[in-house]
Amino acid sequence: MADRTMRLEKYIATSGIASRRAVKKSILAGLVTVNGEPVLVPGHPINVETDAVEFEGKRVKPLMERIYLMLNKPAGYLTTRSDERGRPTVMNLVADLPESIYPVGRLDLETEGLLIFTNDGDFAYRLLHPSHEIAKTYLTWVKGVPDDSAVQRLRQGVTIPSGRTAPAKVERLKVSRDGASTQFEVVIHEGKKRQVRFMFKAVGHSVIRLKRVAVGTLRLGNLPQGQYRLLTPQEITTLMEL
């Protein structure tokens, strides 16, 4: 007979409500119940056929259809499911899709480019977990022309508000004709808040424009800004194996 038990946070994550990381936080905060009783410890085993699970007051039901897509996010959209001040969010750009999907990770308000969405909690957890060190590639335009010493510091790691950054790949692509700005390709494996912007600020150059063009092997390509497309089965499998 098949095993009907599953860890609580995995069950909720695979329902498409939230990522496993977010689920753990809600469990610790007492916002998850099993058969009406709060469960405060992640890893609690449940019977997926007989136990009644509620997440933040909503009944959790197993999800049948998995959705995976990427969006070319324009500047000016918050990476959040909703905003109490009514500002535009990335969810406005995927409004024709099921409400169960959510963005994997974040791009700040003015950052453009590749943003992955899913309702598969295990997939999201794998992409976000620091142990997997999945590369994120950005095109970055900065004020002025950072010298070779500044670029080398970025490659070796600099101190930003959230701590010291790990070594990064930083390649100068081109300098504007008037010398007012420089374009770089930057590859990082971390997800510190506003990391690329703070990295260049640490060496004296502010970011003018920032665009994520790849996550692992998945590249933005020529997807129009503000549009999305579903990931192919091969793209999904490859990301899961990173």
Q: Is 171 exposed, middle or buried (0-12, 13-18, 19+ CB in 10 A)?
A: exposed
- The span from the CA of 32 to the CA of 2, in Å, is 26
Residues 6+ apart with CB under 8 A from 218: 70, 114, 116, 231, 235, 238, 239
**218 touches 70 (CB < 8 A):** yes
- The span from the CA of 233 to the CA of 231, in Å, is 7
Residues 6+ apart with CB under 8 A from 164: 157, 158
Estimate to the nearest angstrom the gap between the alpha carbon of 105 and the chain centroid. Answer: 2
List the one residue out of 123, 199, 128, 120 whose CA is nearest residue 159. 199
Cα dist. 232→185, 218, 229, 235 in Å?
Answer: 26, 10, 9, 5
Which residue(s) pair with 91 in the sheet?
A: none
- The span from the CA of 239 to the CA of 123, in Å, is 9
Q: Which residues are catalytic?
A: 108
